Amino acid sequence: MSLSFHLKKHFHSFSIDIGFSTEENMSVLFGPSGAGKSLLLNLLSGIVKPDQGFVRIEEREVFNSETGINVPIRDRHIGYLFQDYALFPHMTVFENIAYGINHLPKNKIKTKVEELLDLMRLGGLEHRFPKELSGGQKQRAALARTLAAEPRILLLDEPFSALDYQVREKLRADLLMIHQRYPITTLFVTHDLEETFVMGENIAIINNGRLEQFGAREEVFYKPKTKNVAKFLGARNIFTGRVVSLVGTTAVIENPEIGEVKALIHPEEVELSLGQKITFGIRPEEIMVIRPDKPIDKKVQDNILDGEILTTLGKGASHTVYFKVKDRDATLKIEIPNFAYRKLKLHKGKIITISLKKESVWIISERQAMGER
Amino acid sequence: MIDLFPLYLTLKVSIVATFFSVFIGLGLAWLMARKEFVGKGFLDALVMQPLVIPPTVLGYYLLVLLGRSSPLGRFLEETLGITLVFTWKGAVIATFVASLPLFVRPARAAIEGVDKNLENAARLLGKNEWDVLKTITIPLAWRGIVAGSIMAFARATGEFGATLMVAGNIPGMTQTLSIAIYDAVQMGNTNLANLLVGIITLFSFSVIYFVNRFTKGRY
């Protein structure tokens, strides 16, 4: 099912104005707390009435402020998984899952509920009440209840935020598996960056009630359109500079803190002119540390910088290295996998050489950057 | 031989009045808890009036409203053939109005205490408002509704002032238990007064006891 919408709602101190279209896949709505992500789900499902706009599922409009269409919640066939799961506390797991299909014949209900119990690894728990379940089990029971009603659209509001890390990882895998089996158009709200990357085929970046960017995962992560998107997605190396040369698809940017940086540009995406002020950056994990014992690979021969490691920070599977460019002011954040960190024998104070691959350097022209605030 | 009519009448009036309180009161409680409308504050104040207004004043209002000289009283008597004043039906009306707020208050609080997302979850699963009320709101507000019914019933069995004003004190017709106790004391019939007081005390006590046991800790 395709979903397209544009919705507006005004409150005293907050307003929301967001629209996009998506097909049968998983779109992650990512943004800081209070950005309006959950409100958007409430507007889509009809729990909160929008001031203006439309919602179209496939070819059918379920809301349109101009023609006065406002289909009641019960007829929208939208599945909604609440952050706190909203399981009915006075019903067993079986009764909860069967709730949306209890108009069907008894044997059909039983078959369907049993299939979902099996799929959600809830076998043997069907006679328990929600308060007798663990967080992860509650979450799976709530998802089973939603899927039983065969929704056309699935809305998930931070479904894993209340769970521990290990449970969360397992449930993410479950959800992706289920999504493959029941490919329902899904909107997944989260403020967790890792989750955004793992779950999202498409990513919508939402900030302050507005859509900053919507697109395929790689596009949004590696070609952020606004400074905010870059910031939210964990790009820490953000600088401003001036275009000093444009030859073919390569732009040279002059910045006093780093020096000259070459960037690969797609003229159809970013319009640049000589002397123009721009914002540019590179994701910490895209910076390469060059091995001194090997000749420099052709791919990384642009933007070679010498400098010193100011400090290092180990965290889980990688190390964060803060690098100061020699004779300049810029400090770059570099993310290095642990094996590379050990192999290169990196430590505080070590003098190293790094490369900013020119295809990894992203550019936002100031005109776009101005549009954000 | 002791006349048990006052006990029988009190039970009859209280049960019928409580029945009305629960049905009408549930609708009112739901409206107040879940809907916003013009005049909500006024309606709330009106329903709660019997808690603060003297019962005799309440009875006087009802007498004026339902008596033969009022349009409503005349309509009921001439068109429908129902006489309320100085009948047991009048006692039911007085008792109902007096006990309604004792039901509405806890019932409203219980409905307000039901997580709105549970109701929304039911709507999202395709249920209409009536289904939501029947399968989610009422079952989850059950304890408050039962507590309210008991409070209303207890208030009904003890109703005195408003009933006396509307239905009078006619032995064998409108004389309820509390009125009979008053009567017995006035006549100096201490034995009868003690017996009736004993009955009503035992009754009230056991109702509250069993209700507490029944509504204790579910979910």
Between these two residues, A279 and A137, which has the higher pLDDT value? A137
pLDDT band at A367 (very low <50, low <70, confident <90, very high): low
Q: Is the pLDDT of residue B78 over 90?
A: no
Between these two residues, B135 and A23, which has the higher pLDDT value? B135
Residues of A in contact with B127 (CB under 8 A): 74, 100
- pTM, to two decimals: 0.79
Tell me what the pLDDT averaged over chain B comes to.
90
What's the CA gap between A162 and A176, in Å, rounded?
Answer: 19
How high is the pLDDT of residue B1? 57
Q: What is the nearest CA distance from B201 to chain A, expressed in angstroms?
A: 35
Q: Is the pLDDT of residue B212 over 80?
A: no
How high is the pLDDT of residue A280? 86
Tell me what the pLDDT averaged over chain A comes to.
88
Question: Taking CB atoms and an 8 Å limit, are B127 and A74 in contact across chains?
Answer: yes
Residue B161 near residue B55 (C-beta atoms within 8 A): yes
Q: What is the nearest CA distance from B112 to chain A, expressed in angstroms?
A: 16
Question: Taking CB atoms and an 8 Å limit, are A80 and B126 in contact across chains?
Answer: no
Of B122, B128, B219, the CB nearest to A89: B219
How high is the pLDDT of residue B77? 82
Which of A286-295, A313-322, A346-355, B15-24 holds the top average pLDDT?
B15-24
What's the CA gap between A3 and A22, in Å, rounded?
Answer: 5
Residues 6+ apart with CB under 8 A from B189: none
User: Which residue from B minimizes the CA distance to A154?
Assistant: B124
> Across residues A23-37, what is the average pLDDT?
89
pLDDT band at A370 (very low <50, low <70, confident <90, very high): very low
Q: What is the nearest CA distance from B219 to chain A, expressed in angstroms?
A: 6
Which ipTM value was assigned to this complex?
0.81
Question: Taking CB atoms and an 8 Å limit, are A75 and B126 in contact across chains?
Answer: yes
Q: Is the pLDDT of residue A270 over 80?
A: no
User: Which residue from B minimizes the CA distance to A81?
Assistant: B121
List, as own/partner pairs, every contact residues A58-66 make where C-beta atoms lie below 8 angstroms and the sequence separation is at least 24, other chains included. A58/A1, A58/A2, A58/A152, A63/A5, A63/A7
Question: Taking CB atoms and an 8 Å limit, are B125 and A149 in contact across chains?
Answer: yes
Q: What is the nearest CA distance from A234 to chain B, expressed in angstroms?
A: 33
Of A72, A86, A131, the CB nearest to B115: A86
Residues of A in contact with B114 (CB under 8 A): none
Alpha helices in chain A (DSSP H): 37-45, 93-98, 106-119, 135-148, 165-181, 193-199, 217-222, 227-232, 338-343, 366-370
> Hey, what's the torsion of the CAs at A255, A258, A263, A267, to 10 degrees?
-20
Of A80, A86, A146, the CB nearest to B118: A86
